[in-house]
């Protein structure tokens, strides 16, 4: 399998059958999304924050845990942009965090 490129973008959507999932106090685990050697584990916590844990961009995992911005459509659109120096996390089109690598 080819190594993860130094720069890239990963886009995916997360949805749940429970229509209130994004605003209720229930935690949800959405499993792990994989693209080659890149893995992203997705969880929604009871405090209405969304956690993303990325593995495959280096020797240590990179994570963020932020409130879910309101979206125009059901679910959450996740965009992760990585460069050699940082990783940007977008939820529903809003940049919610930038983490140094």
- pLDDT at residue 74, as a whole number: 81
Reply yes or no on whether the pLDDT at 65 is more than 90.
yes
SS3 content of the chain, % helix, strand, coil (to 5): 0, 55, 45
Question: How many other CB atoms are there within 10 angstroms of residue 78's CB atom?
Answer: 20
99, 89 contact by CB (below 8 A): yes
Which fold would CATH assign to domain 8-100?
A: Jelly Rolls (2.60.120)
Q: For 47-71, what is the mean pLDDT?
A: 94
Asked whether the predicted pLDDT for residue 88 surpasses 90, the reply is yes
Q: What is the mean pLDDT of the chain?
A: 93
> Rounded CA gap, 38 and 5, in Å?
10
Residue 93 pLDDT greater than 90, yes or no: yes
DSSP bridge pairs for 78 = 12, 91
């Amino acid at each position: 399998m080819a190594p993860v490129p130094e720069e890239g973008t990963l886009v995916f959507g997360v949805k749940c059958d429970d229509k209130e999932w994004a605003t209720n106090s229930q935690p949800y685990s959405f499993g792990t999304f994989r693209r080659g050697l890149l893995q992203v584990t997705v969880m929604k916590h009871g405090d209405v924050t969304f956690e993303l844990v990325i593995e495959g961009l280096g020797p240590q995992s990179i994570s963020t845990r932020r409130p879910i911005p309101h979206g125009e459509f059901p679910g959450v659109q996740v965009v992760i942009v990585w460069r050699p120096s940082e990783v940007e996390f977008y939820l529903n089109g809003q940049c919610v965090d930038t983490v140094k690598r």
